[in-house]
Chain A
């Protein structure tokens, strides 16, 4: 390929395409980074709230065993209604669950940004590919 003469116009178009691809990559990287940072901060805040709420959690010895908190009877929110109730009550575990949900949504958001990116790159086949993935992901949440 490299020993053929290159039309400067084609080379410029190629470079422009490369630039666009690079912008898409940077957008995706940014979405992942923001999603990760926000969810870590929320999870950390929730964890601190859990420990502050109950002094037995933070005791170094003579406190309770963690098994009492993670065993089969431990109560924690596992539906959106329960989550909003836990958040309204200011429970630390509700905040942690919110952070975990934000973490779960990060890849979904990444796919959504990819769809927009390929629209911007004017690449219809890949728009369809990423749109399909996004729809299946959204459907999976409703099926669950």
Chain B
């Protein structure tokens, strides 16, 4: 395969990864890494560096559209970023202490569990109209969104902010350790624990993963894991894909997004378990 074939084929695959990632609130890194390692036979370290670039590209590309369309709960997203960035910095130090195999297995099990939990809640769509959560009330993290699938506006309240913060801290650590955006943990934290609507959860996760990934991107850059010939097609393809995906989210139903999310989670869980058990 010549460099030109490589750049063109990888950017086309990245369009698909960006589109799917922007819909379900993941960075697309979990899709890019296996493709780079299996199909292109690229060193895992460089694949992870490309993954971080992919996460930031998905996030910035999709979030620009989601903020404009008022899909994101900006206040909740920014508040929860406190936990994700601190988690990411702690995770950067832990990389040397924890064996990667252990992390892959742990992450695989957690993902399989959250796929199951999301599947069991697939019909739950009732939004909260009242919240006793003092943290959420003090910072006014409650929100409002317009559902283009149902042509209705919704107001919703947020609860369990402490649980959300704890999950986001773990998500930030995992993100730095495995070089992914860890939207797979962020979406359940908002959808299942904090009762944000599913589409708002994936859009807000998208908004947040860029900042989480940026907190460990400096580390990956300094270690020489960001190879320009891999990063360039990934960044361009993923950006194009995430802008395409972002056009579609508003019109999709919450239930459909949940089902796509469950399938993607299961695939990633299997991927992670396989990597850990090999």
Chain A residues in the interface with B (C-beta under 8 A): 24-26, 28-29, 32-33, 35-36, 39-40, 43-44, 46-47, 50-51, 56-61, 63-67, 69-72, 74, 76, 78-79, 93, 96-97, 99-101, 103-108, 110-111, 114, 125-126, 129-130, 132-133, 136-137, 139-141, 143-144
Q: A110-B211, A129-B79 given as contacts; is B219 within 8 A of A64 (CB)?
A: no
How many Å lie between the Cα of A103 and that of B50 in the bound state?
13
CB distance from A86 to the nearest CB of B (A): 9
Question: Would you call the interface of chain A mostly helix, strand, loop, or mixed?
Answer: helix
In contact, A33 and B64 (Cβ under 8 angstroms): yes
Contact partners of A97 in chain B: CB under 8 A = 226, 228, 231
Instruction: Give A115 Cβ to nearest chain B Cβ, in Å.
Output: 10
Beyond A36-B239, A139-B89, 19 extra complex contacts between A and B, CB < 8 Å: A35-B60, A43-B231, A43-B235, A64-B3, A65-B1, A70-B6, A70-B42, A100-B228, A101-B221, A103-B56, A104-B221, A106-B56, A107-B211, A111-B211, A114-B78, A126-B79, A130-B78, A136-B89, A143-B219
If A108-B214, A140-B218 touch, does A66 touch B3 (CB 8 Å cutoff)?
Answer: yes
Q: Which residue of B lies closest to A34 (CB)?
A: B64
Contacts of B59 in A (CB 8 A): 107
Contact sample, A vs B, 12 pairs, CB 8 Å cutoff: A32-B60, A32-B67, A33-B64, A40-B235, A43-B236, A47-B232, A51-B3, A67-B41, A103-B60, A126-B75, A129-B82, A137-B85
Contact A133 B216 (CB under 8 A): no
Task: Give the docked Cα–Cα distance between A63 and B2 (Å).
Answer: 6
**Distance of A100 Cα from B53 Cα, bound (Å):** 7
User: A39 to B67, Cβ gap below 8 A?
Assistant: no
- CA separation between A106 and B60, bound complex, in Å? 7
A100 to B211, CA, bound (A): 15
Per-residue contact bits, chain B 197-229, to A (CB 8 Å; 1 contact, 0 not): 000000000000011011111110111111111
Q: Are B4 and A59 in contact (CB under 8 A)?
A: yes
A129 to B76, CA, bound (A): 11
- In the complex, what distance in Å separates the CA atom of A40 from the CA atom of B57? 10
Decide: A57 near B3, CB < 8 A? Known: A78-B223, A104-B56. Answer: yes
Q: Mark B52-68, 1 if CB is under 8 A from A, else 0.
A: 01001101110111011
Taking a contact as CB atoms under 8 Å apart, the answer to whether B4 and A28 are in contact is no
CB of A96 within 8 A of CB of B82, answer no
Asked whether B70 is an interface residue with its Cβ less than 8 Å from the other chain, the reply is yes
B81 within 8 A of A: yes
Taking CB as reference atom, which chain B residue is nearest A63? Answer: B2
Cross-chain contact A96 with B231 (CB below 8 angstroms): yes
Q: Is the CB of A144 within 8 A of B56?
A: no
Cβ–Cβ < 8 Å partners of A35 in chain B: 60
Q: Which residue of B lies closest to A79 (CB)?
A: B222
Within 8 A of A (CB), among B15-55: 40-43, 46, 53
> In this complex, what residue of A is CB-closest to B208?
A107
List A contacts of B239 (CB < 8 A). 36, 40
CB-based contact B2/A96 at 8 Å: no
6 A-B pairs with least C-beta separation: A144-B218, A96-B228, A107-B210, A78-B224, A66-B6, A32-B64
- Residues B210 and A106 in contact, CB atoms below 8 Å apart: yes
How far apart sit A102 and B217, CA to CA, in the bound complex (Å)?
12
For B43, list chain A residues within 8 Å (CB). 71-72
User: Which residues on A sit within 8 Å (CB–CB) of B213?
Assistant: 107
Chain A CB within 8 A of B7 CB:
yes
Query: Could you tell me if B139 and A129 are in contact, using CB atoms closer than 8 angstroms?
Result: yes
